[in-house]
Amino acid sequence: MNIDRRKFVGRSVAGVAGMLAGSHLKGMVVPGRRKEEQEDDFSSGLQQYDLMKEVMKYRKIDAHAHIYWTKDSPETQLNYGRRLGIEKQVISRYLDVMPGTPEQFRKFNDLTIKAIKQYPGQLLGGFVLNPAYKQESLDEIKRCTDAGMIGPGELYYQVKINDPKYYPIIEKLIDLKMIIHSHAECQLGVGGYRMKYNGHKEPNTSIPEDFVDIAKRYPEGIFQFAHIGMGGDWEYECKMFRDYPNIYVDTSGSNNAENMIDFAVEHLGEDRLFFASDNSYYQGVGKILASNLTEAQKKKVFFDNYNNLLKKGGRGVD
């Protein structure tokens, strides 16, 4: 294995960041290692590795998180974030109900509005809608933008992202220079993709091919493909998006295969990844730290890439 020992230990440790967050490495036993072995590491100079110092070195915007999805309150979520140096979380309450009526999406957006008003410095709001209700969705974009939201939160599986029903919505979001963020999956049985393997998913779930289709139709649109770490085929996703520079991926998800971040940068370049958690905060930070990216690349992924796009719409973070 072409990797030095110090790096190997460092990477293993970043991978269990969740267990260690808030503590310094020295004096703790890394899971899977005997105490004596670890003391060997310390005496050979590994005590220099201060995980939390590394974590806190980078400014961070979490480009994909949700509220009122788990039992955690917004306060609890903010605490997770603060401990990891996450300055802002882009939150939404995604529309995981069918059929996703205007009444339902307004109710969900009201929750997000309430939270961003309570924590204006730390939460950035994303709205949800359902393009099957065209006028109501356009009205909701206006209502939520007026309330201070920065763009769509994770749009969901009511309508595929490349369905013509989405065109007027996407055109409006392009006018407003917003990042168009949508849930998507890439698994057997999803969204018409080899449906003989029934994944018991909603048939209109967007898949990578749908993103490519809409990105080609609207090259001026900025598309955020959600959670490459969700458990889908991230290699397939990254390969598919390579030639479409207006598709960005967020790194969130609780499935964190080794090499995923490096692979994504190799195929998409260092400017097209957004750090995100999807509420898996420790894993979200750990997988970036555990990658082989340079410090400058990590800085871009954690903060600058997303912020540069926010700035295009006059919504940047200072």
- Residues near Zn ion (CB under 5 A): 183, 226
At its nearest, how many Å lie between Zn ion and the CB of residue 226? 5
Give the residue with the Cβ less far from Zn ion, 140 or 250. 250
Give the residue with the Cβ less far from Zn ion, 150 or 226. 226
Give the residue with the Cβ less far from Zn ion, 62 or 270. 62
Give the residue with the Cβ less far from Zn ion, 106 or 183. 183
At its nearest, how many Å lie between Zn ion and the CB of residue 64? 8
CB 251, CB 275: distance < 8 Å = yes
At its nearest, how many Å lie between Zn ion and the CB of residue 183? 4
The CA–CA distances, whole Å, from 136 to 87, 105, 153, 165, 281 equal 33, 10, 17, 13, 34
Give the residue with the Cβ less far from Zn ion, 12 or 104. 104
Give the residue with the Cβ less far from Zn ion, 160 or 183. 183
At its nearest, how many Å lie between Zn ion and the CB of residue 63? 12
Give the residue with the Cβ less far from Zn ion, 183 or 267. 183
At its nearest, how many Å lie between Zn ion and the CB of residue 8? 32
Three state DSSP letters for the chain: CCCCHHHHHHHHHHHCHHHHCCCCCCCCCCCCCCHHHHHHHHHCCHHHCCHHHHHHCCCEEEEEEECCCCCCCHHHHHHHHHHCCEEEEEEECCCCCCCCCHHHHHHHHHHHHHHHHHCCCCEEEEECCCCCCHHHHHHHHHHHHHCCCCEECCECCCCCCCCHHHHHHHHHHHHCCCEEEECCCCCCCCCCCCCCCCCCCCCCCCCHHHHHHHHHHCCCCEEEECCCCCCCCHHHHHHHHCCCCCEEEECCCCCCCCCHHHHHHHHHCCCCEECCCCCCHHHHHHHHHCCCCCHHHHHHHHHHHHHHHHHHCCCCCC
At its nearest, how many Å lie between Zn ion and the CB of residue 105? 16
At its nearest, how many Å lie between Zn ion and the CB of residue 154? 5
Give the residue with the Cβ less far from Zn ion, 186 or 226. 226
Give 88's Cβ-side CA count (13 Å radius). Answer: 22
At its nearest, how many Å lie between Zn ion and the CB of residue 228? 11
Q: How many CB atoms lie within 10 A of CB 187?
A: 18
